[in-house]
Amino acid sequence: MTDHAETLGGRHAVVTGGGSGIGAATAAALLQAGARVTLMGRDAVRLDAQRAALGGGDRIACASVDVTDETAVETAFAQAADGLGPIDILVNNAGQAQAAPFTRTDAALWRRMLDVNLTGVFLCTRAVLPAMLERKSGRIVNVASTAGQTGYPYVAAYCASKHGVIGLMRALALEVATQGVTVNAVCPGYTETELLRASLDQIMQKTSRSEAEARSQLLRHNPQQRFVTPEEVANAVLWLCAPGSSAITGQSISVSGGEIT
How far, in Å, CA of 10 to CA of 12, rounded?
7
How far, in Å, CA of 239 to CA of 250, rounded?
14
Known catalytic residues are: 158
How far, in Å, CA of 18 to CA of 95, rounded?
11
In terms of phi and psi (left: phi > 0; alpha: psi -120 to 50; beta: otherwise), the region of 216 is alpha
Residues pairing with 140 in the sheet:
90, 183
Q: Is residue 41 a contact partner of residue 16, using CB atoms and an 8 Å limit? A: yes
The Cβ of residue 109 has, within 10 Å, a number of other Cβ atoms equal to 16
How would you class 148 by CB atoms within 10 Å of its CB: exposed for 0-12, middle for 13-18, buried for 19 or more?
buried
Longest pairwise C-alpha distance within the chain? 56
CA triple 71-165-255, angle to 5 deg: 125
How far, in Å, CA of 218 to CA of 185, rounded?
22
Q: Which residues are CB-neighbours of 251 under 8 A, at least 6 positions away?
A: 184, 185
How far, in Å, CA of 202 to CA of 116, rounded?
21
